[in-house]
Copies of this chain bind each other. A is one copy, B any other.
């Protein structure tokens, strides 16, 4: 509502043409140092800033990037969104670009929404989270040759930019760890494998199980919804089965927390009678009962990374050159331990939290 000075007014005030003032401000070389400084001073004095809408229309550059909100199944909020947005914002604000968040009502019309978004000219690039193995959104972007970057990877990720954590390797790490502690019946609690990350983690689990000489038992794989309730249900079913597992690896901390509840509600102690390892490294895992052992993602501001990479691509960089794979670390808290045996109580020892 506060009135701003227009380019025209500034130009009149200086006795120059609008175009001249514009060029002076935008660093064109055909403006003498003298007038350039004169213009810049006046602009500063009056607090002149070019109207972004007008500039965007004239230049054809949207100066904005969209983040596609993942459709959270279950009403649970996605804890990472806020951090990611913050990092993205940091990156974009250095250029004075806008960050806008987009979402569609239903997941299935996301591609449609996306193609409208990119053809509307409102944004110069897009950030995607949590891709599926075969992701229609990525197809849309790819076909339109529109700049984008993915937080995660789909199956065919060779030709676009992404930032991901090697959760497959992480799950190998987790299973190896459990095997080393004597476990041989290790269950996997996951989410539908059209999510790329769920497949990755399942693959890691399977590989590690087999490379440790155990047989991959389909019975030990439970696919469920991505929530604490889902985890609790899945773990409960497994525990109640004829030949229950002695350890769980879960695709997210949220599910793992549910698994802890299932174990406790059956009168057992997680970390002692049954081990649980989650994935994400959520801070709240420090406060569960018992504190949750987890595969912790690098805490770094992935949003910042994604933003910087996307901008580089918008500037003409080759997407293929912006692919970054980080790795997760096993963060041992208290929900894992050696396999339980009759005389385990004497073997069970307290541990401090380690990295």
Interface residues, chain A, with chain B CB atoms under 8 Å away: 1-2, 4, 49, 51-54, 56-57, 62, 64, 69, 72, 75-83, 85-86, 89-90, 93, 98-103, 105, 115-116, 118-122, 144-146, 228, 257-258, 260-261, 283-284, 286-290, 299
Given A228-B283, A286-B228; A53-B56 close (CB under 8 Å):
yes
Identify A284's interface contact among B72, B118, B257, CB under 8 A: B257
Question: A69 is contacted by which of B62, B64, B79, B85 (Cβ under 8 Å)?
Answer: B85
Among residues of B, the one whose C-beta sits closest to the C-beta of A115 is: B2
- Which residues of chain B are near A93, meaning CB under 8 Å? 103, 105
Q: Which of A53, A54, A81, A90 has the most CB of B within 10 A?
A: A53
Assess the B81–A69 pair: CB atoms within 8 A.
Answer: no
Cα A80 to Cα B78 in complex, Å, equals 9
**CA of A299 to CA of B75 in the docked complex: distance in angstroms?**
10
Q: How far, in angstroms, from A286 to B229 measured CA to CA in the complex?
A: 11
What is the distance, in angstroms, from A226's C-beta to the closest C-beta of chain B?
Answer: 13
Cβ-closest chain B residue relative to A57: B53
User: Please, could you name 5 A-B residue pairs with CB atoms under 8 Å apart, sorted by A?
Assistant: A1-B144, A54-B57, A78-B82, A79-B79, A85-B85
- A82-B90 in contact (CB<8A): no
B100:A99 contact, CB within 8 angstroms = yes
Please, which residue of chain B has its CB at the minimum distance from the CB of A119? B2
| Cβ B100 vs Cβ A146 within 8 A | no
Q: A77-B79, A101-B101, A283-B76 are in contact. Are A146 and B89 (CB under 8 A)?
A: no
List of B residues within 8 angstroms of A69 by Cβ: 82, 85-86, 89
Do A89 and B118 have beta carbons less than 8 Å apart? no
Do B49 and A120 touch (CB < 8 A)? Answer: yes
Q: Which 5 A-B pairs have the closest CB atoms?
A: A289-B289, A81-B82, A100-B100, A77-B82, A77-B83
Instruction: Name, among A4, A146, A284, A289, the residue most crowded by chain B CB atoms within 10 Å (CB to CB).
Output: A284
Give chain B nearest CB distance to A270 CB in angstroms.
11
Contact status A49-B289, CB under 8 Å = no
- With contacts A1-B118, A53-B121, A69-B85 known, is A99 near B98, CB below 8 A? no
Closest B residue to A3 using CB positions = B119
Cross-interface CB contact of A121 among B51, B98, B103, cutoff 8 Å: B51
Instruction: Give the complex CA separation of A93 and B144 in angstroms.
Output: 23
